[in-house]
Amino acid sequence: MLRYILFIPVCLAALSILNWTFLGLLNWTIGKTTHLYFKIDIVYFILLIPLFWGAIWGVFKISAISLAALLIPVSPDKKFSLYSLGFLSLVNGIALIIYFWTRDVNFTWRVILMTTIITIFIMDFSTSIVLVFSKKDVHGFEDQL
């Protein structure tokens, strides 16, 4: 019973720490690259941005796998954990997408492109947590399901 009570707060704390880090890193990289972002030619923009943002995507993909691995020991039941983590990841993803789409009033093609890339990262990150968690055996409950 204690695992059921503790699972959701632990998930919220883990997602909050990851969100804070994610938002901080993205805001820092956007701030540091803004001067290059508006001065760079479109060809270089298309070639360099996927490499730069791919590194950030890799860090958060590993973070999603790590988060799922850390949540397995405190998960009470596979179905309960999967559904609650899925719901929390959905709410988390929607909140992050709304944050990034409402933060800039001047929508240029570059802002729209960057925000679309960030949206794809967020959707991939949110689904990765649930997919990785669903593949794991949670305290032998997989045999019971």
Write the CB contacts of 60 (distance below 8 Å, at least 6 apart in sequence). Answer: 18, 22, 121, 125
State in Å, rounded, how far the first CA of the chain is from the last one: 19
Could you tell me the pLDDT band of residue 144, with boundaries at 50, 70 and 90?
very low
Rg from Cα positions in the chain: 18
Residue 34 lies in a domain: yes
Instruction: Give yes or no for residue 125 having a pLDDT over 70.
Output: yes
Residue 124 lies in a domain: yes
Residue 145 lies in a domain: no
Residue 134 lies in a domain: yes
The model's pLDDT over 34-91, given as tens digits with 9 standing for 90+, comes to: 666 667 777 777 777 777 777 777 877 787 777 777 777 777 777 787 788 888 888 8
AA letter at 91: V
Residue 144 lies in a domain: no
Number of domains in the chain: 1
pLDDT of residue 137: 53
Instruction: Give yes or no for residue 141 having a pLDDT over 60.
Output: no
Domain that holds residue 90: 2-138
Tokens coding 140: 């032998």
The model's pLDDT over 100-109, given as tens digits with 9 standing for 90+, comes to: 888 766 777 7
Whether this model's pTM surpasses 0.75: no
pLDDT of residue 142: 43
pLDDT of residue 37: 66
Could you tell me the pLDDT band of residue 31, with boundaries at 50, 70 and 90?
confident
Residue 131 lies in a domain: yes
More confident residue, 28 or 141: 28
Instruction: Give yes or no for residue 17 having a pLDDT over 80.
Output: yes
